[in-house]
Amino acid sequence: MSDAQTVPSAFFNPTATGRSELKSSVDAVIASLAGIGEGPRTPLLPAELRSLVTAIEVCPDDGVAFHEVAKTFGEVVWANGVIPTDSACCAHLHPPTLLASVATDVAVSATNQSMDSWDQSPVATEVELHLCDFLAKQLGFSGTGSGVMTSGGTASNVLGLTLARAKAAHAIGVDVGAHGLPLEAKTWRILSSDQAHFSVQRAAAQLGLGRRAVESVPTLRDGTMDLDALDACLDRLHKEGLVPIALIGTAGTTDLGAIDPLRGIAMRAKAVGAWFHIDAAVAGSFIMSDTLAGALDGISLADSVTIDFHKLWWQPMNASALMVGDVACFDLLRVASKYLDRGDEMDGMVNLVGRSLDTSRRFDAAKVVASLRSLGRKQFAQYLDQVLHLATFAAKELSHRPGWKVITQPSAAMVVFTEATATADELRRVQQQLLARGEMVLGRTEIKGEPCLKFTFMNPLVDEASVIRLVDLVVDELHAVRTAS
């Protein structure tokens, strides 16, 4: 055999030889994961990590054998990350990933379908449309409902609000895409709760409305939007000659997991002629559970809904979708192009670029469909029940510790808590010291001015004993902080 035949080719090739080369490359990657240790994260800090990483020459003149590269990555990169499966990795909505998704992602990268045009992703386009149809049915949309995958909840919220802005302009005879903002845009307002995700503010900024266009509606103690306050806000806007172009309901706020009264918001959006967007990045997966879906009552009335698969659907990043009640609304954003979305394709060929703010885009629907099919609805719903149980269990444990309290009872995977006399600085030190020692990746936030800590339980396989250990660690750390000062 000549040398040329023994050296693996640089490109993936779907032949028997190519598949066998891929297998040995993936085997090298899997072997490199063996260096991942115990605990939620490495105890190394930025300077130490930086010097390890900068020692890796990015593109040497002569390439390095891949098994060597994989080994180095194992020692430097994979061994020093956070470990979302670990019970003490409990700060964010950052999930462990379903095995079926991880494995399917290998084929997604290897086959590299590009979701912008049908001629680059014939069957992949059909898979994404199929997933969108499935979600549209789950959401209770009529036959016109569909959607598009995006890179995350932020991108989905931006797309939803871009549609809202286009619709508001269209209603006064303006094509905002072609001509930019009309003078009336100065009066346009977006209403969301004071617990809504900051991506709403970023969307308003990007859309040229400015963050001042976002009206923050007060919430009740449990973090849900106060409908009386919403009514008062709408009355005030009317008197001031301001126009609500979008009402946003959050289905699962980032900290408290609070689900706004979606039906009530929908009725008000309809009454004032505003777009109704739901940010269901956190609790959107409740549509998959017979017991939890009721909490999303009114979701079927939305014009657009953000679904974030890389949260409580346990998908590797990136995976999100912007679902719409009427697929025709995407036409408001469409820009034809001579080479891609030409508008004269053969019957039935959908170019998804016509729905998306991205052009080239990864085939993210594959892993979602493969893993949901492999897991099944019952198991999926059980996992949701279990993360909710862990949050509720932690809330109960915390309430048994003298001085500790939860802000509100959990309604998703999170529990937000504090100690009656703890200062913001003490809580900061608790969170930072646990992080620096690599013992816990703990959440820290503020609810209506009150500094708090937060557990987010994304791994349904964590047991109650681990939750008790986490509570003990936090309680002991606050004690240590106070003793040290």
d(CA 151, CA 282): 15
Closest distance between ligand PLP and the C-beta of residue 255, in Å?
8
Closest distance between ligand PLP and the C-beta of residue 254, in Å?
3
If binding is defined by CB under 6 A, does position 282 make contact with ligand PLP?
Answer: yes
CA distances from 382 to 386, 387, 423 (A): 6, 9, 38
If binding is defined by CB under 6 A, does position 250 make contact with ligand PLP?
Answer: yes
Binding mask 286-325 for ligand PLP (x = CB under 6 A): ----------------------x-----------x-----
Which of these ranges, 83-91, 248-256, 350-358, 423-431, lies near ligand PLP under the rule CB under 6 A?
A: 248-256
d(CA 351, CA 120): 9
User: What is the residue type of 75?
Assistant: E
If binding is defined by CB under 6 A, does position 93 make contact with ligand PLP?
Answer: yes
If binding is defined by CB under 6 A, does position 356 make contact with ligand PLP?
Answer: no
If binding is defined by CB under 6 A, does position 95 make contact with ligand PLP?
Answer: no
If binding is defined by CB under 6 A, does position 138 make contact with ligand PLP?
Answer: no
For ligand PLP, the binding residue among 146, 199, 408, 459 (CB under 6 A) is 199
CB 280 within 8 A of CB 251: yes
Closest distance between ligand PLP and the C-beta of residue 429, in Å?
24
Closest distance between ligand PLP and the C-beta of residue 442, in Å?
16
User: What is the residue type of 85?
Assistant: T
d(CA 287, CA 220): 24
Number of residues that bind ligand PLP (CB under 6 A): 15
CA distances from 422 to 91, 338, 353, 481 (A): 19, 62, 51, 10
Nearer to ligand PLP, 168 or 414 (CB): 414
Residue number of the CB closest to ligand PLP reads: 153
H/E run at residue 276: strand 275-280
If binding is defined by CB under 6 A, does position 277 make contact with ligand PLP?
Answer: no
Which of these ranges, 117-125, 276-284, 359-367, 401-409, lies near ligand PLP under the rule CB under 6 A?
A: 276-284
d(CA 460, CA 446): 26
Collapsed DSSP state (helix, strand, coil) of residue 34: helix
User: What is the residue type of 438?
Assistant: G
Which of these ranges, 169-177, 229-237, 279-287, 437-445, lies near ligand PLP under the rule CB under 6 A?
A: 279-287
Nearer to ligand PLP, 70 or 132 (CB): 132
Instruction: Report residue 421 as tokens.
Output: 């006399």
For ligand PLP, the binding residue among 120, 162, 219, 254 (CB under 6 A) is 254
d(CA 435, CA 453): 13
Which of these ranges, 12-20, 72-80, 247-255, 389-397, lies near ligand PLP under the rule CB under 6 A?
A: 247-255
CB 303 within 8 A of CB 324: yes
Which of these ranges, 58-66, 151-159, 339-347, 428-436, lies near ligand PLP under the rule CB under 6 A?
A: 151-159
If binding is defined by CB under 6 A, does position 160 make contact with ligand PLP?
Answer: no
Which of these ranges, 221-229, 233-241, 277-285, 416-424, lies near ligand PLP under the rule CB under 6 A?
A: 277-285
Which of these ranges, 39-47, 246-254, 424-432, 456-464, lies near ligand PLP under the rule CB under 6 A?
A: 246-254
If binding is defined by CB under 6 A, does position 197 make contact with ligand PLP?
Answer: yes
Burial 382-392 (b: 16+ CB within 10 A, else e): ebbebbbbbbb
For ligand PLP, the binding residue among 89, 161, 281, 365 (CB under 6 A) is 281
Minimal CA–CA distance to 141: which of 322, 370, 315, 366?
322
Nearer to ligand PLP, 157 or 351 (CB): 157
Collapsed DSSP state (helix, strand, coil) of residue 7: coil
Nearer to ligand PLP, 279 or 477 (CB): 279
Show the DSSP H helices in 77-226 as ranges. Answer: 99-111, 122-139, 153-171, 176-179, 199-206
Residue linked to tokens 């698969």: 309
Closest distance between ligand PLP and the C-beta of residue 145, in Å?
21
Binders in 378-407 for ligand PLP, by CB under 6 A = none
Q: What pairing do the DSSP bridges indicate for beta strands 146-150 and 320-324? A: antiparallel
If binding is defined by CB under 6 A, does position 154 make contact with ligand PLP?
Answer: yes
Which of these ranges, 137-145, 149-157, 171-179, 436-444, lies near ligand PLP under the rule CB under 6 A?
A: 149-157
d(CA 132, CA 146): 5
Minimal CA–CA distance to 317: which of 162, 132, 93?
93
Q: What pairing do the DSSP bridges indicate for beta strands 441-447 and 89-90? A: parallel
Question: Is the bond into 80 cis (omega within 30 degrees of 0)?
Answer: no
Angle between helices 464-484 and 424-436 (to 10 degrees): 120
Nearer to ligand PLP, 254 or 431 (CB): 254
Which of these ranges, 115-123, 148-156, 175-183, 427-435, lies near ligand PLP under the rule CB under 6 A?
A: 148-156
d(CA 124, CA 274): 34
For ligand PLP, the binding residue among 152, 410, 438, 460 (CB under 6 A) is 152
Tally of CB atoms within 10 A around 109: 11
Q: Which residues bind ligand PLP (CB under 6 A)?
A: 93, 152-154, 157, 197, 199, 250, 253-254, 279, 281-282, 308, 320
